[in-house]
Chain A
């Protein structure tokens, strides 16, 4: 958390802000998402029973194109877990909107699950929330990811 604050503050100082805008931005500083922590691709679930790691394809997550992720589900003691039920959603917490699609989950075995059908249509910070149900437990993991606008390549369309 602290690092994020420092980062924003550094930006404000480093850039030649006009006084008025600097002020509005300062007023806007009272939010709390630990993006740095959440952007780690391995996370423990909220009650610490599961450890999830993910990789997107393509990597990094592209703006406004379908992508899929592979998630490895382990117990906290690093045992690969098959037979887990995953439910998934993704939102932009800063904009109060989410995806317009509903991803589908497929178990690939050896604790790996593929989730297809993601589409992040806006640049910025997204959160993928995965609910894991296994062995009578139901816990939540949140992965954060920041999607960037990229210069066009050759043809310049975004599909």
Chain B
């Protein structure tokens, strides 16, 4: 029997066998709400509460208030873009779930991928849909320099900070004097022409900017959602708290951790395993297939700002960098994308790496019948199996996803610091 068939056969039967069998038909209270069995409760409690962002030893400024303040200032400052008209917030708008409401990002021109939410981004192990950055600080230089996004250059940024007194002062307050380049640097300096020592100075400067962005982004964490409240009620046996979730949402939760198997990848309190999967989304006519993780692995290994490079603040043998130390590229990485968080997902559509679905019901409809689509690239993971959800159940799953919202971000974070 082929591996594929074995896999198919096995998935539903044993993996969550206990749970699956525990789940149907739901034990229900008189009002139709769910009574969850012990095995289900274990799974529910693996998803909550969200908790603090994990430490990032590669950024010694990660939890410094002055660095976060600088990061917040820069996040909203359009002077960091090539033409002075775009900031990070242009695509990561706090009023749109730290995203932009568009299928694909629009900066200097239209990109090829969807702007992901920044909610809880500090809980991710890898950044970008393809994981081509291994820390938030290393990530941030890429939109700044992307010719499709902000269109700056690192040498140009260096000169901007030399020129604009307030920026330079704000930088120096956190990081001390700007690293010195012996070559004169201006907006048109050719990076390749710089001697190595000056490249290091400029890279040190941009890694500092990145570390400030990260300190700010670590503040973008969700509060308690209806789901968290419900789970707390379940844990403490408090029926009033359990009312935080509608009956539909509770039945959706049961599907999420049971028959629909969503929890296999959307696992842990950030509803993401932080890793990469090929869901077998079909090709879109006229759009080039996206290599996803396969190219991302090469890029992160080659990135001079990665966590094994000289700009990391972690001890050389810190296990934090193990993710990179043991990383290897496989053919199966083609067409894989990182599992996104589902917290606040209601507010961050359109969905998927290419923004192909405009609402959650469309996403769930895809998961319901993955087998009818030919993967754009590579091979669909057998984790995804036909779900045979009814229209009612699709509604319940969607109600559950909407219970993962915790309300708008704190106003103080939604604009430059006072």
Contact A98:B46 (CB < 8 A) given known A121-B275, A157-B53: no
Interface assignment of B109: CB less than 8 Å from any CB of chain A: no
CB pair A93–B3 under 8 Å, yes or no, is: yes
Residue from the list A8, A16, A96, A157 in contact with B51, Cβ < 8 A? A157
Q: A80–B275 Cα gap in the complex (Å)?
A: 38
CB-nearest residue of chain A to B384: A95
Contacts of B22 in A (CB 8 A): 15
Contact A155:B51 (CB < 8 A) given known A100-B333, A117-B326: yes
Contacts of B219 in A (CB 8 A): none
Interface assignment of B310: CB less than 8 Å from any CB of chain A: no
Q: How many residues of A contact B (CB 8 A)?
A: 51
Contact code string B1-27 (vs A, CB < 8 Å = 1, else 0): 101111111111111111011101100
Q: A96–B11 Cα gap in the complex (Å)?
A: 10
CB pair B274–A64 under 8 Å, yes or no, is: yes
CB-nearest residue of chain A to B45: A151
CB pair B6–A33 under 8 Å, yes or no, is: yes
Q: A16–B17 Cα gap in the complex (Å)?
A: 13
Of A16, A21, A104, A159, most B-chain CB atoms within 10 Å: A159
CB pair B21–A18 under 8 Å, yes or no, is: no
Contact A11:B17 (CB < 8 A) given known A94-B11, A121-B273, A122-B383: yes
Of B9, B277, B326, B388, most A-chain CB atoms within 10 Å: B326
> Total A-B residue pairs with C-beta atoms closer than 8 Å?
173
| Dominant SS among interface residues on chain A | loop
Contacts of A30 in B (CB 8 A): 1, 9
CB pair B326–A96 under 8 Å, yes or no, is: no
Contact A18:B6 (CB < 8 A) given known A63-B267, A104-B326, A117-B322: no
CB pair B24–A17 under 8 Å, yes or no, is: yes
Q: A151–B41 Cα gap in the complex (Å)?
A: 9
A130 to chain B: closest CB distance in Å?
A: 16
Contact code string A1-31 (vs B, CB < 8 Å = 1, else 0): 0001000100110111110010011001111
Contact A122:B273 (CB < 8 A) given known A28-B10, A93-B6, A150-B46: yes
CB pair B51–A116 under 8 Å, yes or no, is: no
CB-nearest residue of chain A to B53: A157
A80 to chain B: closest CB distance in Å?
A: 27
Contact A8:B327 (CB < 8 A) given known A17-B24, A95-B383: no
B66 to chain A: closest CB distance in Å?
A: 25
Q: How large is the interface on B (under 10, 10 to 19, 20 to 34, 35 or more residues)?
A: 35 or more
Interface assignment of A71: CB less than 8 Å from any CB of chain B: no
Interface assignment of A101: CB less than 8 Å from any CB of chain B: yes
Contacts of B9 in A (CB 8 A): 28-31
Contact A119:B323 (CB < 8 A) given known A17-B24, A25-B13, A151-B42: yes
Contact code string B117-149 (vs A, CB < 8 Å = 1, else 0): 000000101000000000000000000000000
CB pair A98–B327 under 8 Å, yes or no, is: no
**What residues make up the interface of B, taking CB atoms closer than 8 Å to A?**
1, 3-18, 20-22, 24-25, 42-43, 45-54, 123, 125, 259, 263-265, 267-270, 273-277, 293, 319, 322-323, 325-328, 330, 332-333, 379, 381-383, 388
> Would you give 21 A-B contacts (Cβ < 8 Å), ordered by A?
A11-B17, A15-B21, A28-B12, A29-B9, A32-B1, A66-B323, A96-B379, A100-B330, A103-B326, A116-B322, A122-B265, A123-B267, A149-B263, A150-B42, A152-B45, A152-B47, A152-B269, A154-B51, A158-B268, A158-B269, A158-B274
- Listed from nearest, the 5 A-B pairs whose CB atoms lie closest are A117-B326, A15-B21, A102-B328, A155-B51, A151-B45
